[in-house]
Chains A and B, each alone.
Chain A
């Protein structure tokens, strides 16, 4: 029924895709105002989700589903609880300002329409990802975010660096996506549960599963690559090749948070185990410290922010793994705070770049007078990033310190990492907010302005939100953060979110963080140099590792092809025969069913002579250098075998063998003598030995098989049948004759036809030969 909340939600999920398709047309129709027009879509989506806040805050979980594939039980279903709603609001809310911002930022770019399309495509994928309930739908949206981010990073595709970054991001994140798929499939196969709702409702079923370690590793593989955790972080800084709106949206506020979203989402069912509470804090903590250290060494403002994003993601992963409810509340708060301040700071940097023409710290200064609103927005965002009082960032930091301070062991290490990381991020945040605006006036572009409204509106609003969120802390807490905590931790107490300052250990740690941060900011140049020296001393990083892995893959592929695909027919036959020998001998060895050696019976003189002739024939084939000798000797061996058949009472078989041998000798002689191939054996001694081993292996294998076959009890049904029926049906006394001309008359006809066709072929060969000679003679004359 139209008008139901679930219908509106489906509409909201579909709207970005429709808008993406219409974006190029909108660009043509509205020109410079297209950004403002297209922003209506995310704004409307934002309002829709805002409308759902009271219901979700009251503890309701909204859901809806349509059948996608009946046969495979795949639903296009959504599930909205506190966590999804918080994400949906961030995606649509920040998305609105990003779309507006993209208008003036890419003004005059010939492919701006396409850019809007990609952006909205991404928005739709990301919304789908956080709302999806069905595992497969989740995975599809997950990969769609990877693909749309590929398109956005590589948007400036005329530059090599952008192409490489796009490609690298795609390989890393969609590779992780496949690990996630494997994990989800494993969940589905072992528990039969195909959606988040089912898994969440089943409680500890996954933890109890014997496949828990495998599921955990695969899911973490997906989450860590997407959320740029060390050592998979290298793609994120490289992705800064994208236009700044992309960095502000995807690589700070949304896409990279998808991994964090997944971890938070699955925390109730995968978390609370030793593995979870060890792996997450360690990877998160290392990412936090490494990201923050790498951030302060950057001189490009955007790169600096990129590394702090990596650090923040590490912090979120660390807190998610800490398990304590306070840590989860801290994570939820920090998630909100980070999206607001980082999106804002990126847009600030983009604005500076757009106006002043550079993002290099050293080339910028004294812009405060020309860009006052930008400065205000930057200071507001940096205050939240640094965790100064009266910002939402402050509350997040206090909460996490409070929770971590009461733990022990690993939690203490996590607390230490959090203090160090926050201090460095404090420095990085204020470096962005202060260095370009104060000091001596310098910028490559002399005519710096505040710029159009679209460029400063977003950062200003987001900075204000960061402060408003704490001023109206009671509402934020009740409506957004506590429902999200409930969804992540599975329980939430009634903590109050407020701007109040409590004089406790956490506040002391906050003061220490700020003091350390100011120290770092003051000695920034020295620390930058020190980090750079350490990195130079290490001289290797995952980014180079990625290139080496890709190059190694190519080299390995080339090696494999060179070794096994030489184009040499001899080699191919060698492999086939070797496989034959293996197929013959290995099963016998595996099942230990070697044939037993039969009792030795003295052969008659005739038999001995024939055996000697056959062996002699083969020996000559092996020994001779002459092609013709080899063919004739092979024929002699064949005739000897045919004689053996005769001696053992199989005249029909013997007859066929004689025919075949005769024909092959004639045809081979005709063909081989006509071809002017070099008569010598070009093989070296090792090759000769190698071929010999395979030949002997095959021979021994076939011999053993024959022995084994003769050991099987004799099946006399056929013999009995012919003995009974030769007289009665075919009126013949000689069973062999009857078989050849009567019971298997059609076979005999077939054999005769084959011989006839072969004879015709020989005739044709002979005629070709004479004609060839005639041609040569003609040319000579």
Chain B
């Protein structure tokens, strides 16, 4: 007989249950109706994610379930909504591509939904075990998605690389988690923090470093970034767009929760690691990107650099820092999705073009795309008054308030270098002679890039509600 009192409270996990059940149903539907079900499955998957947004948005307060392993608070709801939206957009952006490249696989949306479920677990993880469960669920789906273009050598190679390095990172994370458990006797974040109040041993620091190393891999921070450019280039472009957006949100949210909630008492220890990783990522992201000729590789280095800036906010370890991280993530995801919408539109004669030079003179052949892309690039470069500037401003300000001057200065300098390669593309689009003419931009990509560009342009006027929501989210961790 099941003891009703022992039944965990399922209300906080309603959205996750919905997604899991929905993903399995969609998979069954796909398997039984075959490839022609792809449009239906895609539409249903987007609807499912939209429904999950509603369910998440209805939650309020802080509630904990599954014996403290799962937490639902303002921070998790904020990040979950952002993640769900990013995943839904990633599915929608793949529609035209899948049709043109003839790889309409119903597995793609299903895998994205499964990965998203994993991400939501990551965001809500309040325990080392649930952390790992969420992370692996997301990663396993992601490995498969990277290699989904089975007949393409590049795609399979990138999937394999991602898998090998990813499992290495998972191993390191597990190793670190077991050390943390061994030295504190707890897996629950609050209990770990409680155990650390009276001081910590070196073994714990090593465990902490390994946990952070595993997480650094997932957010592609230096020195665990090596997979990023290869996977970004090799995976089909809509998959790359997905990788660049939603998983970053979830992994950073996870990293924030682990460092602030579980390792809050040993802030000084992880601050050094996070600062080092932030500096290395910012520098590598900006310098290595300059020589790139492939736009997807460029975006890979751009994401490495942006992760560095995000970690600057985390390194501050303050509420203002976390708020900066949250806002940066949202703005970054909007920029990334917009940029990939433009990249996905780079097609000519039925083939994707990935060469940066081929964007030359885009302003003359496709003024709309060029304008939106330029707005996104200016924002990525951090030019005021676009949203990207404020994202950087908040994290640097948090670092300065936490007296991390070196970090802030290196951040500003590397964003100057970073601006160089973003603005070079603007220069190509507006000042150079057109080399090729792309096909017309499909409606869904046009919508995504227009929404993204509009968000970045008017952010300065309507920032208040988002900033307020981010403040509420950050406050729930302190």
**Contact surface of A with B, Cβ cutoff 8 Å:** 69-71, 139-140, 143-144, 147, 154, 157, 163, 167, 170-171, 174-175, 178, 181-182, 185-186, 189, 553-558, 560-561, 564-565, 567, 569, 571-573, 575-576, 579-580, 583-584, 587-588, 591, 593, 705, 708-709, 712, 715, 717
Q: Give chain A residues whose Cβ lies under 8 Å from the Cβ of B413.
A: 178
**CB-contact partner of B202 in A170, A185, A708, under 8 A:** A708
**CB-contact partner of B400 in A185, A560, A571, under 8 A:** A185
Given contacts A163-B427, A553-B420, A575-B226, is CB(A709)–CB(B288) below 8 Å? Answer: no
Cβ distance B293 to chain A, nearest Cβ, rounded Å: 10
Cβ distance B232 to chain A, nearest Cβ, rounded Å: 11
**Identity of the chain B residue whose Cβ is nearest the Cβ of A567 in the assembled complex:** B230
Of A175, A576, A717, chain B has the most CB atoms within 10 Å of the CB of: A576
Given contacts A143-B383, A157-B431, A182-B412, is CB(A591)–CB(B202) below 8 Å? Answer: yes
Of B226, B289, B431, chain A has the most CB atoms within 10 Å of the CB of: B226
Given contacts A556-B287, A561-B292, is CB(A717)–CB(B223) below 8 Å? Answer: no
**CB-contact partner of A576 in B168, B179, B385, B431, under 8 A:** B168
**CB-contact partner of B423 in A170, A571, A576, under 8 A:** A170
Q: Give chain A residues whose Cβ lies under 8 Å from the Cβ of B227.
A: 572
Q: Give chain A residues whose Cβ lies under 8 Å from the Cβ of B172.
A: 580
* A572 in contact with B161 (CB, 8 Å): yes
**Identity of the chain B residue whose Cβ is nearest the Cβ of A591 in the assembled complex:** B202
* B287 in contact with A71 (CB, 8 Å): no
Complex Cα distance A715/B195, Å?
A: 14
**Identity of the chain A residue whose Cβ is nearest the Cβ of B433 in the assembled complex:** A158
Q: Give chain A residues whose Cβ lies under 8 Å from the Cβ of B229.
A: 565
B213 located at the interface, meaning its Cβ lies under 8 Å from any Cβ of chain A in the complex: yes
Given contacts A139-B384, A575-B226, is CB(A587)–CB(B464) below 8 Å? Answer: no
8 Å CB interface, B137-191 against A: 160-161, 164-165, 168-169, 172, 179, 182-183, 185
Q: Give chain A residues whose Cβ lies under 8 Å from the Cβ of B373.
A: none
* A583 in contact with B210 (CB, 8 Å): yes
* B290 in contact with A557 (CB, 8 Å): yes
Q: Give chain A residues whose Cβ lies under 8 Å from the Cβ of B417.
A: 553
Complex Cα distance A345/B396, Å?
A: 45
Cβ distance B1 to chain A, nearest Cβ, rounded Å: 17
Besides A178-B415, A557-B292, A564-B284, 16 more A-B contacts (Cβ < 8 Å) are A144-B384, A171-B420, A178-B412, A182-B408, A186-B405, A553-B417, A556-B290, A557-B289, A561-B288, A565-B226, A565-B229, A573-B164, A576-B165, A579-B224, A583-B206, A712-B182
Q: Give chain B residues whose Cβ lies under 8 Å from the Cβ of A186.
A: 400, 405
Give per-residue flags for B446-478: 1 if the beta carbon is below 8 A from chain A beta carbons, else 0.
Answer: 000000000000000001100110010000000
* B291 in contact with A558 (CB, 8 Å): yes
Q: Can you list 19 pairs linking A and B with CB atoms under 8 Å apart?
A: A69-B464, A157-B431, A178-B415, A185-B400, A557-B291, A560-B284, A569-B161, A571-B226, A572-B165, A576-B165, A579-B224, A583-B209, A584-B206, A587-B202, A587-B209, A591-B205, A708-B202, A709-B182, A717-B185
Q: Give chain A residues whose Cβ lies under 8 Å from the Cβ of B427.
A: 163, 167
**CB-contact partner of A71 in B179, B289, B464, under 8 A:** B464
Contact residues of A: prevailing secondary structure = helix
* A712 in contact with B183 (CB, 8 Å): yes
Of B179, B291, B397, B427, chain A has the most CB atoms within 10 Å of the CB of: B291
Q: Give chain A residues whose Cβ lies under 8 Å from the Cβ of B471.
A: 71
Complex Cα distance A584/B468, Å?
A: 41
Give per-residue flags for B375-410: 1 if the beta carbon is below 8 A from chain A beta carbons, else 0.
Answer: 000000001110000000000110011000100110
**Contact surface of B with A, Cβ cutoff 8 Å:** 160-161, 164-165, 168-169, 172, 179, 182-183, 185, 201-203, 205-206, 209-210, 213, 223-224, 226-227, 229-230, 284, 287-292, 383-385, 396-397, 400-401, 405, 408-409, 412-413, 415-417, 419-420, 423, 427, 430-431, 463-464, 467-468, 471
Given contacts A70-B464, A71-B468, A565-B226, is CB(A705)–CB(B287) below 8 Å? Answer: no
Complex Cα distance A606/B385, Å?
A: 74
* B409 in contact with A140 (CB, 8 Å): no
Cβ distance B474 to chain A, nearest Cβ, rounded Å: 13
**Identity of the chain B residue whose Cβ is nearest the Cβ of A171 in the assembled complex:** B420
Complex Cα distance A554/B417, Å?
A: 11
Q: Give chain B residues whose Cβ lies under 8 Å from the Cβ of A557.
A: 287-292
Complex Cα distance A557/B413, Å?
A: 16
Cβ distance B179 to chain A, nearest Cβ, rounded Å: 7
* B291 in contact with A564 (CB, 8 Å): no
**Identity of the chain B residue whose Cβ is nearest the Cβ of A163 in the assembled complex:** B431
Cβ distance A47 to chain B, nearest Cβ, rounded Å: 29
Q: Give chain B residues whose Cβ lies under 8 Å from the Cβ of A715.
A: 185
Complex Cα distance A588/B202, Å?
A: 7
Cβ distance B149 to chain A, nearest Cβ, rounded Å: 18
* A69 in contact with B463 (CB, 8 Å): yes
Q: Give chain A residues whose Cβ lies under 8 Å from the Cβ of B431.
A: 154, 157, 163
Complex Cα distance A717/B185, Å?
A: 9
Complex Cα distance A556/B467, Å?
A: 38
* A182 in contact with B206 (CB, 8 Å): no
Q: Give chain A residues whose Cβ lies under 8 Å from the Cβ of B419.
A: 174
* A593 in contact with B412 (CB, 8 Å): no
Complex Cα distance A336/B405, Å?
A: 40
* A560 in contact with B288 (CB, 8 Å): yes
Q: Give chain B residues whose Cβ lies under 8 Å from the Cβ of A579.
A: 213, 223-224
* A71 in contact with B467 (CB, 8 Å): yes
**Identity of the chain A residue whose Cβ is nearest the Cβ of B283 in the assembled complex:** A560
**Identity of the chain B residue whose Cβ is nearest the Cβ of A594 in the assembled complex:** B202
**Identity of the chain A residue whose Cβ is nearest the Cβ of B289 in the assembled complex:** A557
**Identity of the chain B residue whose Cβ is nearest the Cβ of A715 in the assembled complex:** B185
Cβ distance A566 to chain B, nearest Cβ, rounded Å: 9
* A583 in contact with B203 (CB, 8 Å): no
Cβ distance A211 to chain B, nearest Cβ, rounded Å: 9
* B213 in contact with A565 (CB, 8 Å): no
**Identity of the chain A residue whose Cβ is nearest the Cβ of B228 in the assembled complex:** A565
Given contacts A178-B412, A182-B409, A558-B291, is CB(A708)–CB(B420) below 8 Å? Answer: no
Cβ distance A216 to chain B, nearest Cβ, rounded Å: 15
Q: Give chain A residues whose Cβ lies under 8 Å from the Cβ of B416.
A: 175, 178
**Identity of the chain B residue whose Cβ is nearest the Cβ of A574 in the assembled complex:** B226
* A587 in contact with B179 (CB, 8 Å): no
Cβ distance A97 to chain B, nearest Cβ, rounded Å: 30
The 3 tightest CB contacts between A and B, nearest first, are A557-B290, A557-B291, A558-B291
Q: Give chain A residues whose Cβ lies under 8 Å from the Cβ of B168.
A: 573, 576
Q: Give chain B residues whose Cβ lies under 8 Å from the Cβ of A572.
A: 161, 165, 226-227
Complex Cα distance A307/B467, Å?
A: 47
**CB-contact partner of A712 in B201, B290, B430, under 8 A:** B201
Cβ distance B249 to chain A, nearest Cβ, rounded Å: 23
Given contacts A178-B412, A189-B400, is CB(A561)–CB(B206) below 8 Å? Answer: no
**CB-contact partner of B288 in A163, A565, A573, A583, under 8 A:** A565
Given contacts A140-B384, A167-B427, A185-B396, is CB(A553)–CB(B209) below 8 Å? Answer: no
Of A565, A708, A712, chain B has the most CB atoms within 10 Å of the CB of: A565
* A143 in contact with B412 (CB, 8 Å): no
* A587 in contact with B206 (CB, 8 Å): yes
**Identity of the chain B residue whose Cβ is nearest the Cβ of A578 in the assembled complex:** B223
**CB-contact partner of A705 in B203, B396, B420, under 8 A:** B203
Complex Cα distance A557/B242, Å?
A: 26
Complex Cα distance A580/B420, Å?
A: 34
Cβ distance B61 to chain A, nearest Cβ, rounded Å: 24
Complex Cα distance A579/B471, Å?
A: 36
* A705 in contact with B206 (CB, 8 Å): yes
Complex Cα distance A71/B469, Å?
A: 12
Cβ distance A153 to chain B, nearest Cβ, rounded Å: 11
* A564 in contact with B287 (CB, 8 Å): no
Cβ distance B105 to chain A, nearest Cβ, rounded Å: 19
Complex Cα distance A186/B224, Å?
A: 32
Q: Give chain A residues whose Cβ lies under 8 Å from the Cβ of B160.
A: 569
**Identity of the chain A residue whose Cβ is nearest the Cβ of B202 in the assembled complex:** A593
Cβ distance A560 to chain B, nearest Cβ, rounded Å: 5
**Identity of the chain A residue whose Cβ is nearest the Cβ of B209 in the assembled complex:** A583
Q: Give chain B residues whose Cβ lies under 8 Å from the Cβ of A71.
A: 464, 467-468, 471
